[in-house]
């Protein structure tokens, strides 16, 4: 049985009051997040997944369909607006908070559940994920409840708890394919913890695997239809298609990124308790091994991949479901033994609070556009307004962008929310390349090409004989410059230039790819 660490003099009324307070905090946080979600423009990832929701499918290039279906449901309820896109992100984040508390309470105590919820709520990565609709949001929610369901199923002789666990793992995997790593976590725990070792030898764990496999059948079918692009994409994303090499600095970048998105003191505290096996209380060996099984496989996967290429900071996010509970439980023990541990806890939570509050509004810091994290959620409306004015001036009917995030944001914010396109490229590194291209849909229309660089790829030169000189687009918000882009008017016919002089642009061939990750 799980060890409990109840607070002194806990009565039924006190427990009810504590739960009521906790519910009130979660409700207030949810309402604030719903309001705040309307204050930010979409970031590129959100607009990209919104495009998916307009073309619902069994799977997409690099992810399963879960996020597209959530966005489709949100926009069906609240319209094609940022609130509609983000509504279920906030609801899922609240669900994650409830799941974390229930799992920590089941493994340890209400107090550990409270501290876990506080850690997750103040962590910058989780705070951002509670508002923005990225793939990590549904992944972490389903991962958390799958862990809770497995802890319940491991002591059951019935099949249906294992089937529920399998469905939850399947949903997390269909949110982001790293969700399947939780199966390794469960298997590792069963191997590591003798009382649960028998579960690997009976049909119940096999039923779990079978249910997850059935959830992935649509993804496999979609990939078979499209010549297996997901495998090529994931190989490229992890730099596994490059020659093997070791980059020690990339490992430091990865670890520094983890400290940044989790909060430095919290991350250091987690490392401390990982290397302090003596921080145990009676009968918590199974709980400790379970949490380490949830944390270590996914975290170490990206740690070792960073020797080849630094992973994005958000990629191991689901690992912190186990990591935060582990930290809360073990640091609680450490604080009883060492006074300095209390001061570190206070400092860590205070710094995380300052970081998270600071992320709500950053303009007063006057950071440069490349340094301000909120600039990702600024300027898209202004860009769309300038491109729309250029369409009216030139008569161009279609918009092409060199980056999939730019194309997605333009599609969302341009009047009428039209389809936008990318130049043709040799490899499908984003979903837009797999959909009908401008060559197929608009073979005779002029276009506006928007790019971060003052260059035009040769594939556009092949399709548009006349390309006018670049126009500089300065994107601003509240009088502050966010970024600068270039717009080219691309004509199907020579001599049709709005500036009076048709001309060719001599440019270098470039791979039109954007390797930015999702939050």
Residues 157-171 as b or e (16 or more Cβ within 10 Å = b): eeeebbbbbbbbbbb
Tell me which of 23-37, 102-116, 142-156, 220-234 is least confident: 220-234
State mean pLDDT over 131-158. Answer: 95
pLDDT score of 266 more than 60: yes
Contact 418/447 with Cβ under 8 angstroms? no
Quick one: tokens of 262? Answer: 């989790």
Structure tokens that stand for 173 in this block:
């995997």
CA distance 412 to 402: 16
- Is pLDDT larger for residue 512 or for residue 20? 20
- The better pLDDT of the pair 212, 360 is held by 212
At 81, give phi and psi (nearest 5°). -130, 165
Task: Please check the confidence at residue 123 and state whether its pLDDT lies above 70.
Answer: yes
The per-residue DSSP string of 389-440 comes to: HHHHHH---EEEESSHHHHHHHHHHSTT----B----SS--SGGGGSPPHHH
For residue 506, the model assigns a pLDDT of: 33
- 147 pLDDT more than 80: yes
Mean pLDDT within 321-326:
96
Question: pLDDT higher for 245 or 189?
Answer: 189
Q: Does residue 234 surpass a pLDDT of 90?
A: no
Q: How many degrees, rounded to 5, is the angle at CA 416 between CA 410 and CA 417?
A: 35
Percentage of the chain surpassing pLDDT 90?
Answer: 59
Q: Look over the chain and give the mean of its residue pLDDT values, rounded to a whole number.
A: 86
**pLDDT score of 362 more than 60:** yes
In this prediction, residue 329 has a pLDDT band, given cuts at 50, 70 and 90, of very high
Is 60 exceeded by the pLDDT of residue 283?
Answer: no
Take residue 264 and report the two structure tokens written for it.
């430095």
Place of tokens 């000189």: 469
Non-local (6+) Cβ contacts of 229 within 8 A are 61, 223, 428, 434
Q: How many CB atoms lie within 10 A of CB 301?
A: 18
pTM exceeds 0.85, yes or no: yes
8-state DSSP, 473: E
Q: What is the pLDDT of residue 516?
A: 36
In three-state secondary structure terms, 121 is: helix
Mean pLDDT computed over 259-273: 91
Q: Give the rounded percent of residues in the chain with a pLDDT score beyond 70.
A: 87
Residue 507 has pLDDT above 60, yes or no: no
Q: What is the pLDDT of residue 22?
A: 85
Read off the pLDDT band of 514 (50, 70, 90): very low
- Find, among 358, 342, 199, the residue nearest to 265 by Cα: 342
Question: Is beta strand 447-451 parallel, antiparallel or unpaired with respect to 398-401?
Answer: parallel
The tens digit of pLDDT for each residue in 174-228 reads: 999 999 999 999 999 999 998 898 888 888 999 999 999 999 999 999 999 988 8
């Amino acid at each position: 049985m799980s060890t409990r660490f109840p607070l002194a003099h806990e009565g039924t009324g006190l427990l009810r009051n504590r739960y009521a307070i906790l519910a009130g905090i979660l409700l207030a946080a949810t309402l604030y997040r719903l309001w705040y979600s309307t204050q930010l423009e979409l970031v590129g990832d959100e607009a990209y997944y919104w495009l998916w929701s307009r073309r619902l499918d069994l799977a997409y290039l690099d992810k399963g369909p879960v996020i597209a279906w959530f966005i489709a449901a949100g926009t069906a309820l609240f319209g094609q607006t940022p609130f509609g896109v983000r509504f279920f992100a906030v609801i899922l984040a609240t669900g994650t908070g409830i799941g974390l508390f229930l799992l920590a309470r089941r493994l340890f105590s209400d107090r550990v559940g409270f501290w876990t919820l506080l850690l997750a709520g103040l962590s910058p990565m989780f705070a951002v994920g509670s508002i923005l609709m990225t793939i990590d949001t549904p992944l972490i929610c389903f991962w958390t409840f799958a862990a809770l369901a497995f802890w319940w199923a491991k002591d059951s002789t019935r099949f249906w708890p294992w089937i529920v666990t399998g469905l939850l793992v399947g949903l997390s995997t269909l949110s982001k394919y790293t969700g399947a790593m939780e199966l390794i976590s469960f298997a590792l725990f069963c191997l590591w913890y003798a009382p649960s070792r028998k579960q690997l030898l009976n049909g119940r764990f096999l039923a779990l695997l079978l249910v997850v496999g059935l959830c992935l059948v649509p993804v496999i079918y979609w990939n078979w239809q499209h010549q297996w692009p997901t495998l090529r994409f994931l190989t490229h994303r992890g730099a596994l298609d490059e020659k093997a090499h070791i980059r020690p600095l990339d490992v430091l970048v990865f670890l520094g990124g983890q400290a940044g998105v989790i909060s430095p003191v919290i991350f250091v505290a987690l490392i401390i308790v990982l290397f302090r096996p003596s921080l145990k209380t009676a009968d918590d060996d199974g709980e400790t091994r379970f949490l380490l099984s949830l944390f270590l496989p996914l975290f170490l996967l990206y740690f070792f991949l960073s020797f080849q290429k630094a992973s994005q900071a958000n990629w191991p996010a689901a690992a912190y479901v186990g990591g935060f509970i582990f930290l809360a439980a073990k640091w609680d023990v450490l604080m009883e033994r060492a006074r300095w541990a209390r001061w570190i806890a206070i400092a860590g939570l205070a710094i995380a609070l300052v970081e998270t509050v600071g992320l709500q509004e950053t303009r007063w810091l006057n950071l440069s556009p490349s340094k301000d994290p909120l600039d990702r959620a600024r300027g898209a409306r202004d860009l769309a307004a300038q491109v729309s004015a250029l369409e009216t001036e030139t008569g161009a009917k279609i918009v092409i962008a060199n980056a999939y995030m730019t194309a997605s944001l333009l599609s969302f914010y341009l009047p009428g929310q039209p389809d936008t396109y990318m130049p043709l490229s040799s490899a499908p590194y984003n979903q837009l390349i797999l959909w009908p291209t401008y060559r197929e849909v608009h073979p005779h229309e002029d276009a506006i090409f928007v790019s971060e660089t003052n260059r035009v790829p040769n594939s556009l030169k092949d399709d548009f004989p006349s390309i006018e000189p670049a126009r500089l687009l300065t994107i601003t918000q509240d009088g502050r410059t966010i970024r600068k882009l270039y717009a080219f008017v691309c004509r199907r016919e020579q001599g049709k230039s709005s500036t009076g002089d048709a001309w060719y642009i001599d440019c270098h061939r470039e791979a039109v790819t954007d390797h930015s990750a999702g939050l």
